[in-house]
């Protein structure tokens, strides 16, 4: 594809962690085509991390809720039933000449095709889902199905002649966002106490099977405070406040509970000011890695190769190689892969990364 696109559409609809892991590809695309108009199609829940990104000209929100509502209630919701038609008409009116389908599912492929773009780049058969490949007319074949998601995204843009080198993603911060986080730390710590360790125990409501047990976070945090004089900050997202409050209640020593963040950029700024991040395989884990905070990632049912944080960062993955993992058993009752990881193992990794911080 030796041509200069003028209008580029990126499709990566969700989730937060996957959007974050597409940001290095966006950075590379902008460097390759500095004058191109670049838009990103994303679902609302994952759109926050893109706000204010200087590499983007527009964020297009995919109206998923309206479309689903229309199909579920076709007799009572005529306005929402025509929402898909309105959306596609608007998308075609933007006249994109290049679509990059990073998502690789039926929905993203159909949108790519209906966009009207003459060049539609996606993954080849076997490296996408739900027959996505039939909708795109340029296909990228990968060397391995078990490829880290960041590397997979960079491989897609190699079709544009872009060298697949990971660049640092951009997560911008407004003055108001910085002021809010400044005030939070000033009100709770006149002087930042080091080591400052962020623990993010929550996961999305749909992936509770990825959560490490609360009592082990309690054991870990108590030891880090007692033996290593650490300051612990418990971070949280929507619906997770009760989880961190319960952990704080069980702890022997008082942790700092993070303020409610208005957006993902504020959460990223909290992580940026910490010496270490500890949590399971979640979007916040990838955000922490993207702002160069060393990460301890506790993996259970998810693929640790595909979902590992950026290799450009200092990370340690903690996991057990069980016959049943990786898996997608959302209702798993035993959660053996998570229960097999004890607090001492995570503590050892934390001390290793903190020592590296001291040496550097």
CATH code, 15: 3.40.50.2000
- The answer to whether residues 340 and 320 touch, using CB atoms and an 8 Å cutoff, is yes
Q: Is residue 221 part of a domain?
A: yes
Say yes or no: 231 and 195 in one domain. yes
- Judged by DSSP in three states, 348 sits in helix
pLDDT at 81: 66
Tokens 């990223």 map to which residue?
268
Say yes or no: 143 and 199 in one domain. no
5 is written with which tokens? 């696109």
pLDDT at 320: 94
Say yes or no: 144 and 184 in one domain. no
DSSP letters of 187-216? Answer: HH-SS--SSEEEEE----GGGGGGPPPHHH
Say yes or no: 232 and 155 in one domain. no
Express each pLDDT in 205-228 by its tens digit: 888 899 999 999 999 999 999 999
Helix, strand, coil shares of the chain, percent, nearest 5, are 45, 15, 40
Cα-Cα end-to-end distance for the chain: 43
Say yes or no: 192 and 308 in one domain. yes
- Residues of the chain with pLDDT below 50 are none
Q: What is the pTM of this model?
A: 0.94
Helices (H) and strands (E) in the chain, counts: 15, 12
Express each pLDDT in 321-330 by its tens digit: 999 989 988 8
Per-residue exposure over 91-107, b if at least 16 CB sit within 10 Å of its own CB, e if not: beeeebbbbbbbbbeeb
Q: What total number of domains does the chain contain?
A: 2
- Judged by DSSP in three states, 283 sits in helix
Express each pLDDT in 141-165 by its tens digit: 998 989 999 999 999 999 999 999 9
Compute the distance between CA of residue 291 and CA of residue 312 in angstroms, rounded to an integer. 11
- Cis preceding-peptide flag for 195 (omega within 30 of 0): yes
Say yes or no: 189 and 306 in one domain. yes
Say yes or no: 213 and 313 in one domain. yes
Show the DSSP H helices in the chain as ranges. Answer: 16-20, 23-32, 44-47, 64-72, 78-81, 83-93, 106-114, 149-157, 175-188, 214-228, 241-250, 264-272, 283-290, 336-339, 343-359
- The answer to whether residues 104 and 127 touch, using CB atoms and an 8 Å cutoff, is yes
Q: Is residue 165 part of a domain?
A: no
Q: Is residue 168 part of a domain?
A: no
User: Which residues span the domain enclosing 150?
Assistant: 7-160
Say yes or no: 195 and 108 in one domain. no
Say yes or no: 229 and 154 in one domain. no
């Amino acid at each position: 594809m030796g041509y200069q696109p003028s209008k580029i559409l990126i499709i990566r609809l969700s989730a937060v962690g996957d959007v974050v892991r597409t940001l290095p590809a966006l950075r590379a695309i902008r460097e390759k085509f500095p004058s191109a108009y670049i838009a990103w199609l994303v679902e609302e829940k994952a759109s926050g991390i893109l706000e204010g990104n200087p590499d983007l000209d527009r964020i297009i929100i995919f109206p998923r809720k309206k479309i689903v509502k229309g199909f579920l209630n076709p007799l009572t919701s005529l306005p929402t039933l025509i929402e898909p038609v309105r959306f596609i008409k608007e998308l075609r009116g933007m006249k994109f000449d290049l679509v990059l389908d990073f998502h690789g599912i039926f929905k993203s492929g159909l949108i790519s095709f209906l966009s009207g773009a003459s060049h539609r780049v996606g993954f080849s058969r076997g490296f996408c889902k739900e027959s996505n490949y039939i909708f795109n007319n340029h296909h990228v074949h990968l060397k391995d199905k078990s490829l880290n998601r960041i590397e997979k995204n960079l491989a897609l843009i190699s079709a544009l002649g872009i060298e697949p080198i990971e660049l640092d993603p951009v997560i911008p911060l407004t003055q108001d966002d910085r002021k809010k986080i400044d005030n939070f730390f000033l009100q709770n710590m006149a002087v930042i106490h080091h080591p400052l360790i962020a623990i993010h125990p929550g996961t999305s409501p749909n992936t509770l099977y990825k959560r490490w047990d609360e009592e082990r976070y309690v054991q870990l945090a108590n030891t880090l405070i007692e033996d290593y004089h650490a300051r612990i900050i418990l971070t949280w997202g929507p619906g997770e406040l009760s989880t961190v409050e319960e952990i704080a209640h069980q702890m022997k020593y008082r942790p700092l509970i993070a303020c409610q963040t208005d957006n993902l950029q504020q959460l990223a700024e909290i992580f940026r000011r910490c010496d270490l991040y500890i949590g399971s395989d979640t979007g916040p884990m990838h955000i922490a890695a993207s702002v160069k905070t060393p990460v301890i990632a506790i993996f259970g049912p998810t693929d640790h190769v595909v979902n590992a944080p950026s290799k450009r960062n200092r990370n340690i993955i903690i996991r057990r190689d069980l016959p049943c993992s990786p898996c997608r058993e959302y209702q798993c009752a035993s959660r053996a892969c998570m229960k097999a990881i004890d607090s001492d193992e995570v503590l050892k990794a934390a001390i290793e990364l903190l020592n590296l911080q001291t040496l550097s």
